[in-house]
Amino acid sequence: MKTCQPPQKPFTAFTTRFNSSLTRTSITWAAMLLVVSAPALLAGPPFVTDDPEPVDYQHWEFYIASQHTQTSDGWSGTAPHFELNYGVITNVQLHLIAPLAYDAPKNGAVQYGYGDTELGVKFRFLQKTSLLPQAGVFPQVEAPTGDNARGLGSGQWQAFLPLWLQKSFGDWTIYGGGYGINPGAGNKNWGFGGAVLQCQVRDNVLVGGEIYHRTAMQTGGRGDTAFNVGTVIDFTEHQHLLFSAGRSIDGPADFQVYLAWQFTFGPEFFHSFAKLFEK
């Protein structure tokens, strides 16, 4: 039995949330058990939490993903959404999510169309040392591009202002932080905290579980305590499958699921592509 080691470079992952606001904050405790030395992920897709580490300089992450949530009122989610992350300079990542959203109420017509657009910049300002944690900020805004009247968007600009910290203690890694800004009539600013336990069970397979709590987003509303279990399967160095599913422990979600195909690549991809035209 091999001893777990902290991962060296997590892939930055899905930032869409398991609720219509697509914004979150988190404080995460991630324990790695039975890890084989291999490419590893920290929290992020397929989970709700994130880390301070941006995509490498001149490297890209592209996702085709879909998420679905069932409550007593029906189903809602994305089918699909597209995510793009790019390391524009060292320690800085640009972020975009463009969703095709749907709302399928139990007693109403199904709505489908473009949802709210998410934009963000992740900046790591502190590298880890033996004493100090790795730290970064990941401010994001959500543009109200979806039709609120059809249940496809919030109808308001929203912002998420997280400070992410990450520190390893032997086999353990701690990271988290953040705050949500949720304007509009009847809405409330909100916070989020969570914990992830994950394990690299094979060279190309990671499994994990998550529990989190989100405070109420509307005046008179309720918070949500929920869990997810998930996996990441690396088919090749560049192609990955991400999956998670769970539900609320104390909250509205009877079931929630996330599925994504991720393609990661760097400048060599474009160099190889250019050579095709040079022949």
The residues spanned by each domain of the chain are: 26-278
What pLDDT sits at residue 36?
Answer: 27
Q: In which band, very low, low, confident or very high, does the pLDDT at 279 lie, cut at 50, 70 and 90?
A: low
Does position 153 have pLDDT exceeding 50, yes or no? yes
What pLDDT sits at residue 24?
Answer: 36
| Highest mean pLDDT (candidates 39-53, 147-161, 188-202) | 147-161
pLDDT in tens, 165-216: 777 665 445 556 666 666 666 778 888 877 777 778 888 998 888 888 888 8
Identify the residue with better confidence: 58 or 189: 58
Q: By mean pLDDT, which of 52-61, 95-104, 187-196, 206-215 is the weakest?
A: 187-196
In whole numbers, what is the pLDDT of the chain averaged over residues? 79
Does position 240 have pLDDT exceeding 80, yes or no? yes
Among 124, 121, 99, 122, residue whose Cα is nearest residue 112:
99
Identify the residue with better confidence: 129 or 187: 129
Q: Report the distance separating Cα 12 and Cα 48, nearest Å.
A: 12
What pLDDT sits at residue 65?
Answer: 97
Distance from the first to the final alpha carbon of the chain: 50
Interval 39-43 mean pLDDT: 32
Which phi and psi angles does 276 have, rounded to 5°? Answer: -60, -30
Q: In which band, very low, low, confident or very high, does the pLDDT at 13 lie, cut at 50, 70 and 90?
A: very low
Are residues 26 and 177 in contact, defined by beta-carbon separation less than 8 angstroms?
yes
Q: Report the distance separating Cα 201 and Cα 34, nearest Å.
A: 6
Q: By mean pLDDT, which of 83-92, 150-159, 206-215, 246-255 is the weakest?
A: 206-215
- The structure tokens 């250019």 sit at 274
| Rg from Cα positions in the chain | 19
Residue 168 neighbours by CB distance under 10 Å:
17
CATH (residue range 26-278): 2.40.160.40
Tell me the two tokens of residue 246. 């769970």
- How far CA 94 is from CA of 67, 85, 218, in Å, comes to 22, 6, 30
Q: In which band, very low, low, confident or very high, does the pLDDT at 226 lie, cut at 50, 70 and 90?
A: very high
pTM: 0.78
pLDDT in tens, 65-81: 999 999 999 999 999 99
| Highest mean pLDDT (candidates 116-120, 131-135, 212-216) | 116-120
